[in-house]
Amino acid sequence: MNLGVENMAVSVWQTVSATVLALGLICTPVAEAQDIDDLSGPVVHADLYARVKVAGFAAPVDLRQSGQKTRVDVTSGGVLQTYIGDRDKGVLISMTATGQNRMALVFPLDHAEGVIPLPLELPVLVRQATVKPVGASIVGGRPCRVMEFSGYLNQSGIICVSPDNIILQMTKQGRREPLFQVIELTVGRQEAKWFRVPPEYQVAVVPGIGGASASGSGGLIEQPMPPPVVKPKAAPGIRP
């Protein structure tokens, strides 16, 4: 595998998954929203599934999250692309399915979370921006607080935040259409299989980018089960 292929795959991940990689909840019961001043601590991501409509994508993006594991499914040009990130293990997996071909590329991933271009949770936004509540609205049938934000990546605009601090919609100042909108959301346990590579995929592990390694992929790639051993039956009257 040459460096051009590696850079292309990493670029695809950064472009697609940065849109939704930040999706998470403060580790508190889903009830009344916390005060904005109480959201400056570390973010503990919850288990959830979300479908997100993102500007520039013809089809919605599906996201599943469990702690530090994130799975993003994107359909582009009729091709399903899946990205699995595990920050605990420091591994990023890019899977592509075309016809009968199944390919998975395993890359190193930084353990630390950076600044997300399109954050889907309020705690991520308030660490880098000034936020001011200005009203209330409904997005996708869910009530939310309308807030103005400024200073996040030198941008400003309007967000609508659910009672559990999920940004259901973000609109940049000067734009008529939202940058993204959460159209489905389910908070709950996600099965471990969603964060593993199925055994039918051909796997290629990138040895390293910038000195990092993808050696943490153990446990994320399912190995095909060997066929059962069938002992021949002995002929009648003959003991084995």
In a domain, 233, yes or no: no
Threshold 0.85, pTM exceeds: no
| Residue 126, φ and ψ in degrees, nearest 5 | -70, -15
The CATH number of residue 205's host domain is 2.50.20.10
Average pLDDT of every residue of the chain: 75
Which residues are paired to 160 by β-bridges?
A: 146, 169
126 to 44, 132, 142, 148, 165: CA distances (angstroms): 15, 10, 21, 11, 11
Instruction: Provide the pLDDT for residue 10.
Output: 46
In a domain, 240, yes or no: no
Q: Domain span at residue 104? A: 3-217
In a domain, 228, yes or no: no
Structural domains in the chain (count): 1
| Span 200-224, pLDDT tens digits | 999 998 776 444 455 555 666 654 4
Instruction: Provide the pLDDT for residue 44.
Output: 62
In a domain, 57, yes or no: yes
**Residues 64-72, mean pLDDT to the nearest whole number:** 88
| Span 139-194, pLDDT tens digits | 999 999 999 999 988 889 999 999 988 899 999 999 989 999 999 998 889 999 99
List, edge to edge, every strand of the sheet that includes 91-98: 130-139, 142-152, 155-161, 167-172, 180-187, 48-54, 61-66, 69-76, 79-86, 91-98, 101-108, 202-205
In a domain, 40, yes or no: yes
- Say how far apart CA 166 and CA 151 lie, in whole Å: 19
Cβ atoms within 10 Å, residue 78: 7
